[in-house]
Amino acid sequence: VAMINIGREAVENKRLLPYYQPQISMQTGEVMGFEALLRRRDRSGQICLPGTIAEAFNDYEVAEAIGINMLDMVIADMIDWRSRGLDWGKVSINASAAEFRNRDFIHRLIDHTDRAGIPRDRLIIEVTEGVFVGRSAPMASDMITELKQAGFGISLDDFGTGYASLTHLREIPVDALKIDRSFIQDLFGNTGNDSAAIVSAIIKLGQGLGKTVVAEGIETERQAEFLREHGCSAGQGYLFGRPAPKTAIDELLAGKR
Ligand code: G
Ligand code: G
Ligand code: NA
Ligand code: MN
């Protein structure tokens, strides 16, 4: 309950903000876009991770309010980048399971991007397999299909950690698979042989299905090398860039221009 209240209070007092982490082409090294990651400013101005309000995502109303707030801020940032002539590529936003319990989510995404004049394909919706369980399960597949048909990108996050992944791959139109960072971080670790086999199999699976494969949590050149050699298309991780506030991204984009 404490976390839910902190989450609610953070929305009400405008203490939430997006950080952005670059997503890189593993083949060319180019920045393809960013993942928007929720951050919260506490009373002392410290930036806190979403884990500090994790339970807020279990509360339908608070989760929805956080999602609305994030979408508003990300769209506003895109409008600002556009006005400065900066090309941000694509931005991925994380959808919570709660958002798949109400079709307003679809209308909101369409309405906000269209009103801003942002092409819908500039926004990628990241979903986890968690949406296929519990109260969001009945509507999730249909809503994801509609989002895809409306022109948004769809990315399956934390791939490999959920259950029945392959069934969902057949049923929902995803553009990209994101290999969970636990596999990447274990590539040369204790159970590295297994992780290496799993990672290369996911990459092959993605290739066979014609999907982009994004590896998360890349921290070392050695991990990047492995992924490149196995044909992984995109990557994200501290090696390429930590999640950063918009001002830092402005500079990065201005340097790229
Ligand atoms: O940024 P960090 O590593 O702390 O993120 C922790 C978790 O919070 C990740 O699983 C991430 O997917 C989730 N998360 C980050 N931003 C958002 C957001 O805007 N909405 C939702 N629903 N989850 C988010
Ligand atoms: O669940 P999701 O994939 O959305 O989680 C993304 C989270 O992973 C973000 O909160 C981000 O801060 C974190 N993250 C991003 N890159 C790295 C990395 O290279 N190493 C670690 N440990 N965490 C990362
Ligand atoms: Na994510
Ligand atoms: Mn993930």
Percent of the chain with pLDDT over 70: 98
* pLDDT range class, residue 165, cuts 50, 70, 90: low
Which phi and psi angles does 175 have, rounded to 5°? -90, -30
- The residue whose C-alpha atom lies closest to atom 14 belonging to ligand 2 is 217
Q: Which of 88-92, 163-167, 211-215, 241-245 has the lowest mean pLDDT?
A: 163-167
Residue 250 has what pLDDT?
A: 98
d(CA 244, CA 37): 9
d(CA 70, CA 199): 31
Mean pLDDT of all residues in 163-181: 87
Task: Name the pairing type of β-strands 153-159 and 16-25.
Answer: unpaired
Percent of the chain with pLDDT over 90: 88
d(CA 137, CA 131): 6
Residue 257 has what pLDDT?
A: 78
Rounded distance from Cα 50 to ligand 1 centre (Å): 6
Report whether residue 96 contacts ligand 2, using a CB cutoff of 6 Å: no
Q: Which domains does the chain have, with CATH numbers?
A: 2-250 (3.20.20.450)
Residue 190 has what pLDDT?
A: 76
**With 80 as the cut, is the pLDDT of residue 164 above it?**
no
Rounded distance from Cα 158 to ligand 4 centre (Å): 4
Residue 171 has what pLDDT?
A: 85
DSSP state of 53: G
Q: Which residues surround ligand 3, an ion (CB under 5 A)?
A: 94, 126, 157
Mean pLDDT of the chain: 95
Mean pLDDT of all residues in 63-72: 97
Length, in residues, of the chain? 257
Residue 167 has what pLDDT?
A: 84
Report whether residue 153 contacts ligand 2, using a CB cutoff of 6 Å: no
Rounded distance from Cα 94 to ligand 1 centre (Å): 7
Mean pLDDT of all residues in 63-80: 97
Residue 219 has what pLDDT?
A: 98
State whether ipTM is beyond 0.90. Answer: yes
Report whether residue 158 contacts ligand 2, using a CB cutoff of 6 Å: yes
Residue 168 has what pLDDT?
A: 84
- The residue whose C-alpha atom lies closest to atom 12 belonging to ligand 1 is 94
The dihedral built from the CA positions of residue 163, 165, 167 and 172, taken in this order, carries a sign that is positive
This prediction's pTM: 0.96
pLDDT in tens, 32-51: 999 999 999 999 999 999 99
Chain centroid, CA 47 distance in Å: 19
* pLDDT range class, residue 162, cuts 50, 70, 90: confident
- The continuous run of DSSP H or E covering 31 comes out as strand 31-41
**Residue reference for tokens 């801020």:** 73
d(CA 240, CA 238): 5
